[in-house]
A and B are shown apart, each in its own frame.
Chain A
Amino acid sequence: MGLSATRFLRHWPEMKKRYSEISLHNAWIETYKHDGALMLPPQKVSDRLHAAGLDPGNAPGAFQMRPLVYKMLLDQVEKLGIEIEYGCRVVNYFEREGEKGGVELEDGTRLEAELVVAADGIGSKANKLVGGEVRARSSGRAMWRAVMPVSCLDSDPEVKEAYSLKDGVDPIVRTYFA
C-alpha cells in the first residue's frame, strides 16, 4: 500500500497495528530480465529508499499480501457491526436534481441515499453519471499471476533454492521484466 493510502489508519489504532504486522519488514528486492539475467542485485528496500533520498521510516509504500490487507479491512467492518448485504447486484444508478441519488437492484428494488459511493470497479454502471462510460480495452499486454503453496517449492530442490528467503531469513521480492 502506498503511504498516502495508509494515512487514515491514524484513526484506527487496531488496524494500524495489524497493518504493521502484515507488512513485510526487512524486505529485499532484486530484479531480473526475462531470460534470468540479473539486472539489479539484491538490495534492502530501505537502502534503495535511502539511495533515492527518501526516509525508510516514512517509506512511500510497503509490501503486503492482498488477502491480509483485505481481511484487515473486513474484520474491522465486522467489528463495527456494519452489515454487508451480499447477493445484491446493482444494475443501474440514478440521480435527479434536488433529490436523493440511488441504485436499482437486479430484482427492481430501488435504494436511495444522500450519498452514493460507486466502489464497484471498472465498468461501474455509475460511469454514465460521472463523465461517460469507460470500457476496458486491451493494451496488447498481458499479466499473469499465480500463487502456490510453499510445499510446491519445497518439492523441487532447484526451485526451492531459487526462491529461498534472503540468507534464509528475510523476505525478498523478485521482479522479472520481459
Chain B
Amino acid sequence: MSVFLAFVRSPNNTIEFLSLNRTYHPRQLHKAIAMCLECLVGVESQSTPDSLVRVDSHSDVQGRVLSEISKDEAMEFAPVGTYPSTGIDVLIVGTGFGGLTAALEFTRKGHNVRVLERNNEPDISGKSTTISLNTSQATPYLVAMRN
C-alpha cells in the first residue's frame, strides 16, 4: 500500500494523482503542498497514469474513476473532528502564517502534526497592514503613478 498525494484541479474540480505511475517522487509532492494546501489529501490506492479519483469526504479516497464532482461537494463544511485519524505524520518547520495554517489544516484532515520553531517564543510582532495582490489590482493607482 502506497501513500500518494492528490490535489484538486480548479478548472473542473477533479482530483488527480500527482505522482502518476512513476515511483514515489517526494520532490513533486513537496511542491504540491505549497500549491494547494486546502485540498491536500492522502490517497491510498493503486494509481494509473491518468487515474482520477472522486473524493467524497477527503478522508476516504477510493481509486474510482471520476465522473464529476461539483464545487459545492468539494467544499463541504468539514470542521475539525470531521475526518478520522489517518495515521500520517506531518512535520512542519516554521510557525509563520504558512506553518500555523498548515498545522491547523493537517490536524483538521486527521493527520498527526509536529511543529518546530527555531525561536524560543512566538513572534506576534508585525508592522503593517497588507494589501494583497488581488486587492492592489483592484485599485487604479498604478495608472495614476505613471503621470
Contact = CB atoms under 8 A, between A and B. Distances in A.
A90 B38 contact: no
Given A7-B38, A80-B80, A70 B90 contact: no
B38 to A, nearest CB: 5
A59 B127 CA distance: 23
B144 to A, nearest CB: 5
B1 interface: no
A106 B24 CA distance: 29
Nearest to A80: B107
A29 B118 CA distance: 37
Contact of A88 (B23, B116, B130, B133): B116
B27 A129 contact: yes
B145 interface: yes
Contacts of A145: 127-128
User: How many A residues are at the interface, by size bracket?
Assistant: 35 or more
A131 B38 CA distance: 23
A88 B141 contact: no
A74 interface: yes
Given A76-B104, A90-B93, A103-B93, A147 B127 contact: yes
B23 A31 contact: no
Interface string B7-33: 000000000000000011011011101
B94 A39 contact: no
B84 interface: no
Interface of B: 3, 5, 23-24, 26-27, 29-31, 33, 37-38, 75, 77-80, 88-108, 111, 113-135, 137-141, 144-145, 147
